[in-house]
Each structure stands twice: as C-alpha cells, then as structure tokens.
C-alpha cells in the first residue's frame, strides 16, 4: 500500500514535507512512500527540491495512485470519496493537526493507503537528520538563466562565502514580504535586539550577515549595527542561495520561517548558537541541535 505525502508551498515547507516522507519510510520500512508534487504555478518559485538538491530522491505518485485518493477530481470531491469508503478502510487521508504532533502518525496501518497533507514541521527528525543533510546538499554549479556564469561564480564574485568563512559570522534572517501582506506574525525589533545582545555576550567579534526579502527595512532596522553586511542579489530562482549562505554562517538568528529554520539545521558548525523566536512551534526542541536558544 502507498503512503503519499503532498509537497507544496515554498522551499522551507517543501523540505519539511520531504523530511516527513523520509520519517515515514524510517518508521515503516515496508511502506511504499511516494510524493505528490502540487506546487501550483507562481506560488513562491514553484517546485524547487529537484532543482536545488540534485542528490534528493523523489518517488512521485503516479496518476493511478492519485486517482485512488480522488486528487484528479479535486478536494471537495475527495471528502465525499473518503466517506464512501469509511466502512472499507481503503483510503485514509491525514490532515496535519498542529501542535502537538498528530499521534496518528505513530499508529498507521501498513495495509492501508494514506494521503498526508500538512507542513509537518514539529516532528522529531533527529534519527534521520544525517541522511537529510546528505540529501539537502545545495547545487551551486547550475547556470544562471540568461548568463554564461554559474551560481558558484555568482557567490564567489560577491565574496560573501569568503567573508563568512573568515569571520565569526552570524546570519540574521528577517522574513517580511508575503508575511506582512497576509497578516502573519513576524519577529519584531525587540526580538532582534535581544538576539544580538545575546550573540555579543557569547561570540567574540561577531560579523553579521543580514538576509531579508525587505532589504530597505533591514537596512533601517540595523543602521546602528557595526560589523554587518546586508546580503543582496539572491532573488527569484536564486533565492535559495540565501539559505545556502545562512547555512555556512557559524551562528544563526532565525525568523519565524521554515526557510531560516532549515538554514540553521543545515549549519554544520559544532559550536553554533541558534537563536529562534518563542512564537515558533513549541515542540521543535525534540529534534533541535544543542546550542538552540529560544527568546
């Protein structure tokens, strides 16, 4: 029987959804875990996992498998199909229930079909994190559209990577853009001030690399901060380079965003300090590395 995980939304969510599928495979080795790639059109940058991470292994659900879940006829019809099969237990659709984790995940019937829809951020991926880090290896050799240069050339010419390696680099991520437009909660000025104060007390001569989808706001917010550089130029299909560069920094100040969350998790510095906002999922401590500070 098939376990099908829906992949959608932006890069951070796609990474969490892929990780959840890998967790299912770890928990249920006999299951046939597949993915339904449903990244519609121009939402963020569409489906990005295969383009950015060439080592990733994605087994897509085929049309027949998706029809079994009613995908071809849409979500309203799917709920009716589920009700029709409720006595036969042929279809199981699992919508994520956030905070705490959905306990049904630990008690799945291997003989049944399941379709999983959610973001799946707060599950304990610690046992498979080494594998995820191997899969989430950035491809910076890809050519830049309408250019003879590669993304690696772009990074090297910007000198960001050299500066990150040669300093006590601290990545600061500010997520605004779509969060502001949609009215989502965002980290305020006080959060970043407290985070910087904490870094200053723990890191000798820190140098801050500021990543944001609103560089004008970031420049104003940190106008009085010495030893900083606002990273620019990584937009559109190059946006993931911000995550790549943040993962290279020695320490991370996160936004309430899965984009910076995965950047911090991919940070391989054994002595890293990760500062994250309390507004994020309370259950994530279960699989966070040492050095995480919640403020």
pTM of the full predicted structure?
A: 0.85
pLDDT single digits (tens) 46-72: 899 988 998 898 999 887 778 777 765
Whether residue 258 has pLDDT greater than 70: yes
Could you give the C-alpha distances from 146 to 40, 131, 143, 238, in angstroms and in order? 24, 34, 9, 13
Task: Tally the residues of the chain.
Answer: 295
Return the closest-CA partner of residue 234 out of 226, 243, 221. Answer: 243
What tokens does 287 get?
């699989």
Could you give the C-alpha distances from 166 to 205, 206, 248, 250, in angstroms and in order? 12, 11, 11, 10
CATH of 141-294, one of 3.40.50, 3.30.200, 1.10.287, 1.20.950: 3.40.50
Whether residue 80 has pLDDT greater than 50: no
pLDDT single digits (tens) 13-49: 999 999 999 999 999 999 999 999 987 656 678 899 9
The pLDDT score that the predictor gives to residue 282 is 47
What tokens does 103 get?
């306990």
Per-residue burial over 147-179, b = 16 or more CB atoms within 10 Å of its CB, e = otherwise: eeeebeebbeebebbeebeebbbbbbbbbbeeb
pLDDT single digits (tens) 93-127: 676 665 557 777 888 988 888 888 888 887 888 88
Whether residue 220 has pLDDT greater than 90: yes
Give the whole-angstrom CA distance, residue 101 versus residue 5: 16
Mean pLDDT score of the chain: 82
Q: pLDDT category, 78, cuts 50, 70, 90? A: very low
Chain centroid, CA 143 distance in Å: 23
Whether residue 171 has pLDDT greater than 70: yes
The pLDDT score that the predictor gives to residue 147 is 58
More confident residue, 119 or 85: 119
Contacts of 12 (CB under 8 A, 6+ apart): 243, 257, 258, 259, 260, 261, 262
The pLDDT score that the predictor gives to residue 93 is 65
More confident residue, 172 or 183: 172
Q: pLDDT category, 73, cuts 50, 70, 90? A: very low
Q: pLDDT category, 76, cuts 50, 70, 90? A: very low
Please give the average per-residue pLDDT across 127-139, as a whole number: 91
Q: pLDDT category, 243, cuts 50, 70, 90? A: very high
Give the whole-angstrom CA distance, residue 253 versus residue 250: 11
Whether residue 130 has pLDDT greater than 80: yes
Look at the block and give the residue holding tokens 């560089």: 215
The pLDDT score that the predictor gives to residue 155 is 64
The pLDDT score that the predictor gives to residue 87 is 31
Whether residue 131 has pLDDT greater than 50: yes
Delimit the CATH 3.40.50 region(s) of the chain: 141-294
The pLDDT score that the predictor gives to residue 128 is 92
pLDDT single digits (tens) 181-215: 777 778 999 999 999 999 999 999 999 999 999 99
pLDDT single digits (tens) 143-156: 655 556 666 666 66
What tokens does 249 get?
């920094």
SS (H, E, C) the chain: CEEEEEECCCHHHHHHHHHHHHHHHHHCCCCEEEEEECCCCCCCCCCCHHHHCCCCCCCECCHHHHHHCCHHHCHHHHHHHHHHCCCCCCEEEEECCCCCCCHHHHHCCCCCEEEEECCCCCCCCHHHHHHHHHHCCCCCCCECCCCCCEHHHHHHHHCHHHHHHHCEEEEEEECCHHHHHHCCCCCCHHHHHHHHHHHHHHCCCEEEEEEECCHHHHHHHCCCCCCEEECCCCCHHHCHHHHHHHHHCCEEECCCCHHHHHHHHCCCCCCCCEEECCCCCHHHHHHCCCCEEEC
């Amino acid at each position: 029987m098939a376990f099908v995980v829906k992949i959608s939304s932006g890069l951070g969510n796609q990474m969490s959804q892929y990780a959840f599928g890998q967790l299912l495979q770890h928990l249920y080795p006999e299951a046939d875990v597949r993915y339904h790639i449903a990244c519609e059109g121009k939402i963020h940058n569409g489906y990005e996992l295969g383009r950015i991470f060439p080592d990733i292994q994605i087994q897509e659900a085929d049309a027949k498998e998706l029809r079994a879940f009613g995908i071809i006829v849409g979500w309203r019809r799917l709920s009716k199909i589920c009700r029709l099969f409720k006595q036969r237990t042929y279809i199981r659709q699992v919508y994520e229930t956030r905070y705490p984790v959905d306990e049904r995940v630990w008690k799945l019937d291997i003989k049944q079909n399941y379709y999983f829809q959610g973001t799946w951020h707060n599950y304990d991926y610690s046992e498979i994190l080494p594998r995820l880090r191997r899969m989430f290896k950035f491809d910076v050799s890809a050519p830049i559209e309408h250019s003879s240069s590669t993304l690696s050339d772009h990074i090297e010419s910007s000198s960001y990577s050299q500066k990150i390696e040669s300093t006590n680099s601290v990545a600061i991520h500010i997520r605004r853009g779509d969060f502001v437009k949609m009215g989502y909660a965002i980290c305020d000025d006080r959060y970043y001030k407290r985070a910087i104060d904490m870094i200053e007390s723990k890191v000798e001569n820190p140098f801050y690399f500021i990543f944001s989808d609103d560089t004008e706001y970031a420049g104003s917010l940190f106008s009085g901060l010495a030893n900083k550089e606002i990273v620019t130029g990584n937009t559109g299909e190059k946006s993931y380079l911000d995550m790549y560069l943040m993962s290279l920094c020695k320490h991370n100040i996160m936004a309430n965003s899965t984009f910076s969350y995965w950047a911090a998790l991919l940070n391989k510095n054994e002595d890293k300090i990760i500062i994250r906002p309390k507004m994020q999922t309370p259950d994530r401590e279960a699989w966070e590395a040492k050095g995480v500070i919640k403020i």
